[in-house]
Amino acid sequence: MKKEFDSEYANVKFDNENNVVVITWKQFCCYDDYRKPTTFALDLLNIYAGSNLIVDARNGFEDNEDDVEWGFHFLLPAMSKTGCKKVGFIMETENTIETEMDMWTLEFGKYFAVFREKNYEKLLEAMKTMIWVNVTYQVKKGLRDEFYEMLQKNNTKKNSSEEPGNYRYEYTYALDSENILCLNEIWTNQEAIDLHMKKDYYLKLQDLKAEYVNSVVFEKYIIQNL
């Protein structure tokens, strides 16, 4: 397979140093002129497992109705199966496609953590910053196993791990205490955490904590990792 796609409408390549597939739109296009470069980007995401996507939309972006439908129902679901977790858009501060980009950002946000900046360097910096959270639950005496079983029934780990902005969500038992349960989380950004805290299963978690937990300690760290 070729490592780069180039046409009068778009350039697509893999930035090996930063582990991202980059689509640079040169002008408005539709149908094959739009679908060929985006399908090539999909192929690169499959080849370079764990890579992320950057879209340079400063020279326009897709709004043809048929292609939007194709993008929403084929392209984005297929991209979400590649292991890609983050999608970044390069846009000017003031632009003529704000409504169009808001539509795409909302749809991408169903599958990925989405970032928007005005140049490549700022976008890479934003995408490299992640949030590591350590949570220590001091569980009521003798109830740690029951609390963990209730978390499993609530699908807390499964649902949280499947959120677009989550990289890790793991529970472990403390070895030096039978009443401590630890949770290690990694999120793409604070926005992803804020969305997580609005989910029904997160709200149910608060009820479980009130029933089973005496105290909770949170530790939050900023880490760099694309």
Per-residue model confidence as pLDDT tens digits over 100-155:
556 777 788 888 888 888 899 999 998 988 999 999 999 999 999 999 999 999 99
In CATH, the number for domain 4-118 is: 3.30.750.24
Per-residue model confidence as pLDDT tens digits over 189-214:
888 899 899 999 999 999 999 999 99
Buried/exposed 25-63: b ≥16 CB within 10 Å, e otherwise: bbeebeeeebbbbbbbbbbbbbebeebbbbbbbbebbbe
DSSP state of 171: E
Residues of the chain with CATH 3.30.750.24: 4-118
- How many Cα atoms occupy the beta-carbon half-sphere of 117 within 13 Å? 13
Q: What residue has token string 């997160």?
A: 202
Q: What is the pTM of this model?
A: 0.75
Q: What residue has token string 């949280």?
A: 160
What is the architecture of the domain spanning 129-224? 2-Layer Sandwich (3.30)
Residues of the chain with CATH 3.30.70.100: 129-224
Per-residue model confidence as pLDDT tens digits over 48-64:
988 999 999 888 766 68
